[in-house]
Amino acid sequence: MNNDSILTLIFNASVPVQLVMLVLMAASVFSWALMYVKRGYIRQSQGEAKTFEGRFWSGINLSDLFAQLSVRQERRFGLEAIFENGFREFARARKADLDNSEVVRSAHRAMKVSMSREIEMLENNLPFLATVGSVSPYVGLFGTVWGIMESFRALSGVQQATLAMVAPGISEALIATAMGLLAAIPAVIAYNKFTSEVDAMIVRYENFLEEFTGILQRQAQSPK
């Protein structure tokens, strides 16, 4: 079947089937756009984490690292944001002459809040991909069932039914199922891949938070 015949079947399909195809096409377009944006954000987060960890564990003074981050105009995210918020709260609580344990707890809470915000950004819109992946086949199946039902209904007033009379209607109905699968399969693959990468980033954030908390505990016990 060539492209012209497929387009002809789509344009000749009943209005409900065409609406199903339109919904599936829109879902597919939005999914691919989201995949492109999400892939770029995750890659950027991974690159930022690697760069920041290299600077953090290079032996640089933490106050100097904080000062370098604070003068930058662009938004900090990922490990940079977790570190900056934690160290800022640590410095504020220590200046307020709080107990050493309370100083560390305050910094830890600030980092937890910051980490939750970063995780939310990483996971943003992933449920949409999951929804497209799980729902699209059923939406396409609905269009197929409706199209086949309409085809057989059209035969009710015919004396003698032939395959040639039914085939076009069934073909246009099956296109809805194909479009549902075309929308669902990339969305499922992308969702699984992104979820795995996001989970790895979350573990990375949690490990850094705990390691940095240990460093702050030692600093809190040292003279000011």
Q: pLDDT (tens digit, 9 = 90+) per residue, 67-109?
A: 888 887 677 788 999 999 999 999 998 888 778 888 899 999 9
In this structure, how many other beta carbons lie within 10 angstroms of the beta carbon of residue 26? 11
Q: What is the reported pTM?
A: 0.82
Average pLDDT over residues 11-33: 85
* Per-residue H/E/C for 10-48: HHHCCHHHHHHHHHHHHHHHHHHHHHHHHHHHHHHHHHH
* The most confident of 13-27, 150-164, 189-203, 210-224, by mean pLDDT: 189-203
- The predicted pLDDT at position 10 comes to 65
Q: Across residues 131-156, what is the average pLDDT? A: 82
Q: What is the share, in percent, of the chain residues with pLDDT greater than 90? A: 51
- Residue 136 pLDDT > 70: yes
Confidence of residue 17 (pLDDT cuts 50, 70, 90): confident
Structural domain for 211, as ranges: 3-220
Identify the pLDDT of residue 70. 82
Quote the mean pLDDT of the chain.
85
The pLDDT confidence band at residue 4, using thresholds 50, 70 and 90, is: very low
Q: pLDDT at residue 2 above 80?
A: no
Residue that wins the pLDDT comparison between 218 and 3:
218
Cβ–Cβ contacts within 10 Å for residue 61, how many? 8
Based on the structure, what is the number of domains in the chain? 1
Q: Does pLDDT of 130 surpass 70? A: yes
pLDDT at 101: 86
Angstrom distances, CA of residue 199 to CA of 115, 122, 132: 13, 9, 21
Q: From CA 81, how far away is CA 72, in angstroms rounded? A: 12
**Quick one: average pLDDT of 190-209?**
95
Q: Could you tell me which of 187, 182, 177, 176 has the C-alpha nearest to residue 128?
A: 187
